Amino acid sequence: MVHLRIVVPADRCQKVLDLLEAAPSTTNLVFLAGAARQPKGDVVLCDIAREEASVLIEDLKELGIGRDGSIALEQIDSQISEAARKAERAARGMPSDAVVWEEVEARTSETTELGGNFLFFMVLACLIASVGIFTGSPILIIGAMVVGPEFGPLAGLCVALVERRRSVGLRSLAALAVGFPVGITAAFLFTLFCIATGLVDEGFKSIQNPLTRFIAEPDTFSFIVAAFAGAAGMLSLTSAKSGALVGVLISVTTIPAAANIGVAAALGNWDDWVGAMTQLSVNLSAIVLAGVATLYVERLLFERRRLRHLADGTRAAAGLPAAPERSGSRR
């Protein structure tokens, strides 16, 4: 279940109440007259089956609640209520498969910002990967993959492409366009320092180590694994299965490849440099392609649910038309 806290202008409160009362997937409906002060209005509380949350939120947006009031969402982890179970049974599908698109948008908006923490994590991830390349340590390579924050902007780019959200796409591209060069530069300077201090031999080649040579030797499986990881990452994002995201981060070699670009450039190993550049390009392309495809399918399924909702008579209770005009994008 998803809990909604809705601040409603007084002139539209009855429509909101009628809409929510008419929806069989809604329960625990509470009305607090004049309780809101900023923005001023009434407060409506309710619980909605996760499967129908975005569908009903779209109706609330049509009533102008998102513009003139507010809609806050909270995930309900546990609830003891027969009424809630009836509401969940009234919604088609499984809660674990449902996508609350407003949650997805919020998560991606938070992870696409180009800030100091993002750059710091990129630098640290590339430095850890550099040490893993020097020592031939798969453990350090995996650690660098987990530390790397690059999947957030990649996911944001996928969401932006599917939902045509230009601002999110530009922020995601900016984070990737700045973050990777900063991480590569850090690996480059760190390698020069290691050479100068004798920690690394000038003749070192990452491709000579059997445990880490895959970083500079992309093949067909590099694309396949990255595509699988991109699809899994999108499913993790849309279903709030954060545990699966760790596996996604470990599956792709974006951070190790970026670090190896800097390492190879500092050592003058241009064959390794070309291999690492290719590996990074293959991984980024596969993740975005698979992520967009996965989100597109989930979006189509949501549109089918939305069309069924338009025909079930719930909207009529709030005076909404059966088929609202389509604007071409959600925002």
With 50 as the cut, is the pLDDT of residue 329 above it? Answer: no
Q: What is the mean pLDDT of residues 303-319?
A: 83
Are 122 and 103 within 8 A, CB to CB? Answer: no
For 104-116, write each residue's pLDDT tens digit. Answer: 888 777 777 788 8
Q: pLDDT band for 323, please (50, 70, 90 cuts).
A: low
Which residues make Cβ contacts (< 8 Å) with residue 165, sequence separation at least 6? 105, 159, 329, 330, 331
Cβ atoms of 1 and 48 within 8 Å: the answer is: yes
Whether the Cβ atoms of residue 46 and residue 27 lie closer than 8 Å to each other: yes
Which residue is it, tokens 């939902």?
163
- Sheet with 26-37, strands from edge to edge, namely 26-37, 40-48, 2-8, 70-75
Q: For residue range 3-55, what is the model confidence (pLDDT) as tens digits?
A: 999 999 999 999 999 999 999 999 999 999 999 998 899 999 999 998 888 89
State the pLDDT confidence band at 325, using cuts at 50, 70 and 90. low
Architecture of domain 2-98: 2-Layer Sandwich (3.30)
| pLDDT reported for residue 304 | 86
**Is the separation of the CB atoms in 56 and 48 below 8 Å?**
yes
Q: What is the residue extent of each domain of the chain?
A: 2-98, 105-302
pLDDT of res. 331: 44
For the ranges 35-49, 78-92, 217-231, which has the lowest average pLDDT?
Answer: 78-92
The whole-number pLDDT of residue 213 equals 77
Q: What percent of the chain has pLDDT over 90?
A: 47
Residues 121-132, mean pLDDT to the nearest whole number = 95
Cα 100 to chain centroid distance, Å, stands at 12
pLDDT value for 324? 56
Q: Work out the percent of the chain whose per-residue pLDDT is above 70.
A: 92
Q: Which of 4-13, 81-90, 264-273 is predicted with the least confidence, judged by mean pLDDT?
A: 81-90
Contacts of 11 (CB under 8 A, 6+ apart): none
Task: Please state the rounded mean pLDDT for residues 263-292.
Answer: 93
